[in-house]
Amino acid sequence: MLFAVGAAVIGKWSHGQPTASVKTVVETIFAVLVVSFLDQGESEPVAKGFAWLFLAAVLLSNNSPITGLTKVTSGTTTASTAVAVPLAQTAATNPTRTV
């Protein structure tokens, strides 16, 4: 579960979204509580299954850290775009200035 929560936070951060909203915190607390209550006695395999499902859901979602890393390596992140556009505009409006 720790990996699923960490991947969710990293995924939202890598896509430029707020990492901690009220909805996200409530969903995370609920998921952790469900798995922790099941993680005792005979229902431990069910808890492990839920933890794996949560991790798979995070890694396959639109806010996956995998797709965030792909954007970073291809150079299409919002941070690089935010820097590149003003530099290109400066070069276009003032051709004598070196950027």
Please state, for a pLDDT cut of 90, what percent of the chain lies above it.
1
**pLDDT band, very low/low/confident/very high, at 84 (cuts 50, 70, 90):** very low
pLDDT for position 87: 47
Give me the residue spans of the domains in the chain: 2-74
Q: Give the angle subtended at the CA of 71 by the CAs of 54 and 21, to the nearest 5°.
A: 45
- The per-residue pLDDT of the chain, averaged, comes to 75
Report the distance separating Cα 1 and Cα 23, nearest Å.
18
pLDDT for position 83: 44
18-47 residue pLDDT tens: 877 888 888 888 888 888 888 888 888 888
**pLDDT band, very low/low/confident/very high, at 72 (cuts 50, 70, 90):** low
